[in-house]
Structure 1
Amino acid sequence: MLKETENDHSNCFVYKLRAIKFLFGLHVPKLIGALFLILLGWLITWVFSKLTLTSVMFISRMWQKVVREVAVKGVDEIKASHAAVISKKAFWVVMLVFCSGNV
């Protein structure tokens, strides 16, 4: 009688281990893939954000040169803080588009 009880417990334990292994085998690759896509999306949006910031600052410098040559007064330049805000908005827009495409 005691031997049957031990056998039942060991079978139950083995069954649970197999079930856990099966679940991890199904979900872990999907989780790794999702994390990879999130990191890839973050990298792409970060690069796009930096390009946006550089572009806005370049346009601001070019605009200031044009304004000086034409002698237009009262024209403001794009401040670095405004360029940073534009860059952050571009980051989140691209991130949302990337994430919505992977749902």
Structure 2
Amino acid sequence: MRFVISVMSITAASLMLYLYIFSPNGLIARHRIREQIAKEEAELTEIKNENEIINIGNSKFENDQETIERTARSELNLVYPGESIYHESKKEPPAYVLNYQGNRR
């Protein structure tokens, strides 16, 4: 009888240990969840830092009309109605333009 009780106790303890480690709410699952939480928190911190940088950049545009105009002209190529834009080419003109004599027949 003692032997049977000992075997049953060992079996029950083994089953409880197995469930504690390998069940859906067990030790391994908790470890995976903690790793996932740490990963998500790191990503959240990174996104918050990016948002802060963007908000600092946006604050320049809130009250500074000159910054808005400069950015609109340089990055978006916007102009006021009636204005003309002239772009200066930094490249050398092609050879056929340099050799042109301007003689018409």
Bigger helix fraction: 1
Which structure: larger Rg? 2
TM-score by length of 2: 0.48
RCO higher in 1 or 2 (8 Å CA, sep ≥ 6)? 1
With normalisation by structure 1, the TM-score equals 0.49
